[in-house]
Amino acid sequence: MNRKEFFSKAFVGGSLLFLAPAVFNACTKTADVTPGTGGPTTIDLTSSSFASLKTVGGYVYSGNMIIIRSSATNYIALSKICTHQSCTVGYDSSVNRLVCPCHGSMFSTNGSVLQGPANNSLTMYTATVNGTTLTIS
């Protein structure tokens, strides 16, 4: 194999390796669900997947949402995607704020921006409890 042939094959092979993740990710089914795109989202609060919601101040991620237990009987559901650069926000129960770890944006529990660089609020969803079922719409 001569030098020209080697670089030609290396370029093609490298290009395929570079593009493979994008091709495979485009073909996978996403688990991110947003309420309103096919009906409400329901959560079984007795499921071990949602155990942290048994405690006030606990939170979980479900699809594109962050769900927070705000009191003994209330839950908050917001988009988990920061409106600045799409990082996943976390919840700091000690200050009752949602915080973006990427650039420091802070949001209130109603989704409004408290500190930038984000300019837009997080989407807030309606969360209602009936027995052990949480419905988010």
pLDDT tens, residue by residue, 29-39: 333 345 555 57
For domain 41-136, the question of CATH label 2.102.10.10 is answered with: yes
For residue 23, pLDDT over 80 is answered with no
Q: Where are the domains of the chain?
A: 1-30, 41-136
pTM: 0.71
**Mean pLDDT, the chain, integer:** 79
Q: What is the 3-state secondary structure (H, E, C) of the chain?
A: CCHHHHHHHHHHHHHHHHHHHHHHHHCCCCCCCCCCCCCCEEEECCCHHHHHHHCCCCEEEECCEEEEECCCCCEEEEECECCCCCCECEEECCCCEEECCCCCCEECCCCCEEECCCCCCCCEECEEEECCEEEEC
Query: What is the model's pLDDT at position 116?
Result: 87
pLDDT in tens, 62-105: 999 999 999 989 999 999 999 998 899 999 999 999 999 999 89
